[in-house]
Structure 1
Amino acid sequence: MENIDIGNKVKKYREAKGWSSRELAKQADITPSMLSQIERGLANPSIQTLKILAKTLDVPTFSFFLEEVNTGDLIVRSGERKKMIIDNLSYELLSPDFTGNLATAIMNVPPNTSSSEKLLEHKGEEVAFIVEGKIKVYLDEEEYLLEAGDSVKIPANLKHKWENNFTQQAVVLFSVTPPVF
């Protein structure tokens, strides 16, 4: 909760209404001085004061506690992707990190390589799209050949593995929720 600035949020909601700080203070029945201190981060409002401000500003009380998002941190430049190499497989993380409920990555599978020796499962649900090449995916005991343009949904806890026993590298774009590897 380090990115939470309650006072700044109060000010933002007040300005969105087009109100001066005096107008909000009067409608919320608090002193202009107290409101000014709250907005500048010099005073911490009580829960009761936050409830009154929320009602006056017509916003949910919890909205004061939502973390600010630095939108620049949401961008991943192609040359700045986090890369992981596990055995012969390489992964490029398209998501900025593993926080949140979803991660997206590119898996590069060289020829004559598989993702694991045996079928593995994880608690995350997965959707994969074959960008280039072809690859076998094993879902439980069934084997499927996927080619560029094909996709597959892998439910949580379904045992699976990837296998490229072809001559061309396979590139697989996948998203998993929650983000687990």
Structure 2
Amino acid sequence: MHNTDDSVELGQRIAAARAAKNLSLRQLAEKLNVTPSLLSQIERGLANPSLNTLRMIAVSLDVPLFSLFIEPAAVNNLITRADNRKKIIFPHSNWEYTLLSPDLNGAIEMVLMTVPPHSQTAQIPLSHIGEEIAYVMSGTLTLYLGDSVEELGEGDSVKIPPSLPHMWENRDETEATVIFAVTPPSF
């Protein structure tokens, strides 16, 4: 998301997803509570959306977040090599999401989430259509899950039902990693 080409491609994918849902620029802007002008700038690659805005766009368009970043072309290879994974890196927050599945085709996706110290995934808990199983590989995290707040440590796992608002927070000094599966692909 650093250079203009990436911003233009992201904007084009957002515009294509909006068109596929038969939503006007104004209709989507209203759903996101942003101005049509800002949404237009995002779609033309002139403005970079925040992580929260990207998540809200994905939720509003009912598409996986990763679909806004990767080519829609099918991947024939069933193996995803460690040095050839698709990543979303948010430079201002240092959050990193790595798609472990070869693509978004099929009934399930696997994602590795790298959680920097003293950060959280969103400003408020958000929900998505997919059911999720998350496994904490390293570190300690606070999970806001519906009305509950739970501490999860290395080796803990959690099932997050569809549409249940949730948010991850790393309150520690060390990075945490979480691997999760989502079905259907919606992240």
Structure 1 SS opposite 2:83? helix
Against the structure 1 CA distance between its residues 71 and 163, is the aligned structure 2 distance closer, same or farther, given a 3 Å change threshold?
A: closer
Moved over 3 A (4+): none
Identity of aligned residues (%): 44
Note the residue ranges of structure 1 that are not aligned, 5 or more in a row: 1-69
* 2:105 corresponds to which of 99, 104, 129: 99
Q: Give the structure with higher Rg (CA).
A: 1
1:47-96 residue CA offsets vs partner (Å, 9 max, x unmatched):
xxxxxxxxxxxxxxxxxxxxxxx996100111111111244310111100
Structure 1 SS opposite 2:77? helix
Q: Residues 32-43 of structure 1 correspond to what in structure 2 (within 5 A)? A: none
Contact 2:75–2:103 under 8 Å retained in 1: no
- Does residue 77 (structure 1) correspond to residue 81 (structure 2)? The answer is yes
- In the alignment, what sits opposite 2:142? 136
> Aligned Cα RMSD in Å?
1.6
* 2:163 corresponds to which of 157, 170, 176: 157
Distance 2:75 2:97 in 1: 24
Distance 1:99 1:72 in 2: 10
Query: Under a length normalisation based on structure 2, what TM-score does the superposition of the two structures give?
Result: 0.57
Amino acid at match of 1:134: T
1:104-158 residue CA offsets vs partner (Å, 9 max, x unmatched):
0100000011010001000000000000011011111210000000000000000
Structure 2 SS opposite 1:74? coil
Task: Tell me the matched-pair count.
Answer: 112
- In the alignment, what sits opposite 1:125? 131
Contact 2:75–2:102 under 8 Å retained in 1: no
Distance 2:177 2:147 in 1: 23
Note the residue ranges of structure 2 that are not aligned, 5 or more in a row: 1-73
Q: Residues 8-47 of structure 1 correspond to what in structure 2 (within 5 A)? A: none
